[in-house]
Amino acid sequence: MSSSRKRGGIRLWLASFVLVLAVALPVWFAVSALGVKFGLWNYQLGFGTLTREWGANYVFFIFIAGVVLLLLGLMKAPRVRVVILSLLIILIGGLGLGRLIGAQALIQSLPPIHDVQTDWDDPIMPSEALLKARGEGSNPIQEDPVIPPFLAQMEQGFEAERAAAQESAFSRFMWNMQVAIGLKSDRFFWEGLAGASVADEQAAAYPAVDTLYVEQDPAASFDAVANTLSDMGMEFVTRDEAAGRIEATATTQWFGFKDDVMVRVEPAGEGSQIDIRSVSRVGLSDLGANAARVEAILSQLQQVLAVMEEPPAMVEEQPPVAEPEPVVDEMANDDMAETNEDDAVDDDASVEDSSNTMQETEAEPEEE
């Protein structure tokens, strides 16, 4: 028996090669992310193509290759080293698959929004300074945004990809395998959401995002908000205590995605009302990042401020109450009219009698 066969031969060589590819997986994803962060390529290439598409296929290949090598290592003349290397490959590939499957499940469970705030009835709008910092290519910040209509085009692209996967037995097998383990979905999971209200989708997905009412006055609440944002590592854009407005930017660690946070502090009864808005500069779905950030800020503020047991009653101006019109009795009016006519006749008769009497009185001396 040759020394090559004793060492495992081609099977050991293949296992060693695939293990090197498996170890390079973290490097692949790190380079994909850091390239976006440092401006080497845009986020569509780094996150969309290199991570979600090619990265997912890369992980799936490593996992399947590990399973195949394990079977080869257990076949005729088993090789312990091949089996051990194969198990390491399966472990690395399995961990990568687990992360990707979890991300896929998260995407499917959340609406495709990137704008979250506590009060859509009175939305917080950005200052000119923040709009300038965001740049022209950023997502717009609107008072009542809707999910973009191009979501329908994404659905058409998904249907075309699924149809192409059915053209050959191999591609159909790969598609069905990825669907079976949760790496892909067999249907477009944002179906029918194009044009839907962002406020409605947020209310259904993130019910905990709501206005915070605290007992401290606006000045103390403003300082607490500023300290919280600073502790979370955000970079301030504007701080206007007189207006009760703070704007800051949060940057993600790996891809360097920038999300802008706007906070408004207003008087509410004897305390304060705090509203927060967080908006991504790029992308369609934030994978829940903005909602998680708003909830984290609210949680930190609740630890340093006294939350009101009940929000102050909102006093609304009541419309003036119209005085009721007097009820007119027609029969009474008729009786009154007849009475007035009789009184008028009596008055005329009295006047006439008085005139006659005066004339008679004046005429008496002449007769004498």
Residue type, 179: V
Tell me, what's the pLDDT at 321?
Answer: 56
- Model confidence pTM above 0.85: no
Q: Are 212 and 302 in contact (CB under 8 A)?
A: yes
- Longest CA–CA separation in the chain, Å: 182
Indicate the range of 33-37, 258-262, 283-287, 357-361 predicted with least confidence.
357-361
Distances (CA, A) of 109 to 43, 104, 118, 154: 22, 9, 21, 17
Tell me, what's the pLDDT at 133?
Answer: 97
Banded model confidence at residue 65, pLDDT cuts 50, 70, 90: very high
Helix (H, G, I), strand (E, B) or coil at 130: helix
Q: Are 268 and 312 in contact (CB under 8 A)?
A: yes
The better pLDDT of the pair 175, 79 is held by 175
CA distance 174 to 188: 18
Tell me, what's the pLDDT at 344?
Answer: 45
Distance of CA 340 to the CA centre of its chain: 76
Name the β-bridge partners of 236: 248
Tell me, what's the pLDDT at 204?
Answer: 97
Sorted by sequence, the CB contacts under 8 Å of residue 250 that are 6+ apart come out as 232, 233, 234, 258, 259, 260, 261, 278, 293
Kindly report the number of other CB atoms within 10 A of residue 3's CB atom: 7
Name the β-bridge partners of 264: 245, 275
The better pLDDT of the pair 75, 342 is held by 75
Interval 119-141: pLDDT, tens: 999 999 999 999 999 999 999 99
CA distance 265 to 221: 7
Name the β-bridge partners of 250: 259
Distances (CA, A) of 278 to 123, 161, 224, 310: 11, 33, 18, 25
Tell me the percentage of the chain whose pLDDT exceeds 70.
83
Interval 324-367: pLDDT, tens: 555 544 454 455 445 444 554 444 444 444 444 434 334 343 33
Distances (CA, A) of 46 to 54, 65, 108, 255: 10, 25, 21, 8
Alpha carbons within 13 A on the beta-carbon side of 250: 21
CA distance 29 to 35: 10
DSSP category for residue 144: S
Tell me, what's the pLDDT at 320?
Answer: 57
Interaxial angle between packed helices 80-109 and 9-23, expressed in degrees from 0 to 180 and rounded to the nearest 10:
30
